[in-house]
Homo-oligomer: A and B are copies of this chain.
């Protein structure tokens, strides 16, 4: 950490700062310039509250040189982490496709989709039982009943399952769930992160709509600090000024994350754009950027005119997408995991 002190800094305050730095066990490396004094802090600075220091009157600027995340940091764990979900691996040269309906509506629906996506090549089944909706008047999901349908579809098809957890109070119902999803709106729900940190299940951690890559890794760090290091990151778009897409998918984040962390990272192109016709181009783009997998919404309601064209793909569109991905994977040295 490097702290720049203003040239006209109060001496007493400067002395207090230096004493405080030493009191927390850090070494000091002073360098005086014409307009500034630069204080280098040597040692473990991950415990230092950078925003407190930044707000001191005598401080001009401050920069953290050592990243604040440790367990998630590739520097201290150079090899890719491999997360195993029922024999299906995330990370390294593995590539997984998760697919399923946005919301679970009925057992017949989820089973039909599960069979269709398994047939097309998906290795894990997704389905929403608890739905985060911005309006209290919107359908909030089937809840525990939906979860039971998803578990039953797992039994029938053999596909491991992933679903979103919105409150730690529902954790007891997640015993048969293979990956617990933490949604974008809960990326900094720290009590929830602590709760899943105590489990020993793989966690899919979605990026918050307005969260930096560093904050995202700090949320992973929360889970790892609890003893659970089975984390899969999921980019799903950030909020920008552009109104034509619901969110702006940040694919630069993929190669950046590959440098910063050993954790696998997948992409959710369905939610990022909100438009089914963008799912295929954004999926191929994700593969090109180096993602470790995709999570795709698929529906199966030929009778439901309203669902057609939504952000979900029909099974035959999903099939077409998987085939295109398969051709691309060798270019990026990945191999799709197959049943």
Interface residues of A (CB under 8 A from B): 2, 4, 7, 12-13, 15-17, 20, 29, 31, 33-36, 38, 40, 42, 46-47, 49, 51-61, 63, 65-66, 68, 75, 132-139, 166-169, 185-186, 188-192, 194, 208-210, 212-215, 218-219, 221-222, 225, 238-246, 248-256, 259, 272-278, 281-290, 305-311, 324, 327-328, 331-332
Contact = CB atoms under 8 A, between A and B. Distances in A.
Given A36-B65, A40-B31, A285-B288, A277 B255 contact: yes
Contacts of A273: 252
In the A-B complex, list the 3 residue pairs whose CB atoms are closest, starting with the nearest.
A210-B210, A16-B305, A284-B288
Copies of this chain in its oligomeric complex: 4
B56 A309 contact: yes
B284 A218 contact: no
A166 to B, nearest CB: 5
Given A16-B305, A186-B189, A243-B243, 19 more contacts: A12-B305, A29-B31, A36-B66, A46-B135, A51-B274, A56-B309, A57-B277, A60-B65, A167-B192, A168-B169, A185-B188, A208-B210, A210-B210, A212-B242, A239-B241, A242-B253, A249-B250, A249-B251, A288-B288
A20 to B, nearest CB: 5
* Interface-centre pick from A2, A246, A288 (highest chain B CB count, 10 A): A288
Nearest to A131: B190
A43 to B, nearest CB: 8
Contacts of A248: 238, 240, 248, 250, 252
Given A273-B252, A331-B327, A47 B137 contact: yes
Contacts of A311: 55
Contacts of A309: 13, 55-59
Given A20-B305, A31-B40, A288-B281, A218 B134 contact: yes
Contacts of A190: 132-133, 136, 166, 185
Nearest to A62: B63
Contact of A31 (B31, B274, B286): B31
A239 B210 contact: yes
A235 B240 CA distance: 15
A10 B339 CA distance: 38
Contacts of A289: 281-282, 284-285
Contact of A65 (B38, B53, B288): B38
B290 A214 contact: no
Nearest to A222: B136
A272 B252 CA distance: 9
Contact of A284 (B36, B61, B332): B332
Given A132-B188, A218-B134, A288 B38 contact: no
A72 to B, nearest CB: 11
Given A29-B31, A289-B285, A63 B2 contact: yes
Contacts of A58: 309
Contact of A255 (B134, B281, B308): B281
B284 A210 contact: no
Contacts of A29: 31, 38
